[in-house]
A = this chain, B = another copy of it.
Amino acid sequence: MYIGVDIGGTNIKVGIVSKLGRLVNSISFKTRAPRGVEDVVDEIYDNILLLLKKENLEIKNIKGVGIGVPGTVSPNGSTVKAPNMGWQGVDFSSAFKKKLDIKFKLDNDANCAARAEVKYGGGRDYKNVVFITLGTGIGSGIFVDGKMLMGNGNAGGECGHMVIVKDGIQCNCGNKGCWEKYASASALTRFTEEAAKNNPQSKLNDIIAKYNRVSAKTAFDAAKLNDEVAKKLTSEYVENVYTGLVNLMQIFHPEAFIIGGGVSNEGKGLIQPLQQKMDSFIISNNLYPTVAIKKAVLGNEAGMIGAACLVMD
Chain A interfacial positions (CB closer than 8 Å to B) = 81, 128, 142, 144, 149, 151-153, 155-159, 161-166, 168, 173-175, 177, 182, 240, 243, 246-248, 250-255, 281, 284-289, 291
A81 proximity list for chain B (CB < 8 A): 286
Closest-by-CB residue of B relative to A286 is: B81
Contact indicator B162/A251 (Cβ below 8 Å): yes
A291 proximity list for chain B (CB < 8 A): 152
A251 proximity list for chain B (CB < 8 A): 142, 151, 156-159, 162, 248, 251
Contact indicator B250/A159 (Cβ below 8 Å): yes
Contact indicator A174/B285 (Cβ below 8 Å): yes
- In the complex, what distance in Å separates the CA atom of A174 from the CA atom of B151? 31
Set B144, B157, B288: member contacting A153, Cβ < 8 A = B288
Contact indicator A165/B162 (Cβ below 8 Å): no
Whether A253 touches B166, Cβ cut-off 8 Å, given contacts A246-B175, A247-B247, A281-B175, is: no
18 further A-B pairs in the complex, CB-CB below 8 A; given A156-B251, A247-B247: A128-B152, A142-B251, A151-B253, A152-B253, A152-B291, A156-B250, A156-B254, A157-B253, A158-B253, A159-B251, A162-B162, A162-B250, A163-B164, A165-B166, A166-B177, A174-B284, A175-B246, A251-B251
Closest-by-CB residue of B relative to A167 is: B165
* Chain B proximity of A76: nearest CB distance (Å): 14
Closest-by-CB residue of B relative to A289 is: B153
* Chain B proximity of A287: nearest CB distance (Å): 5
A254 proximity list for chain B (CB < 8 A): 151-152, 156
A152 proximity list for chain B (CB < 8 A): 128, 253-255, 289, 291
Set B153, B166, B252: member contacting A164, Cβ < 8 A = B166
- In the complex, what distance in Å separates the CA atom of A252 from the CA atom of B142? 10
A246 proximity list for chain B (CB < 8 A): 161, 163, 175
Closest-by-CB residue of B relative to A158 is: B250
A175 proximity list for chain B (CB < 8 A): 246, 281
Closest-by-CB residue of B relative to A239 is: B166
A153 proximity list for chain B (CB < 8 A): 253, 288-289
A243 proximity list for chain B (CB < 8 A): 163, 166
Contact indicator A247/B286 (Cβ below 8 Å): no
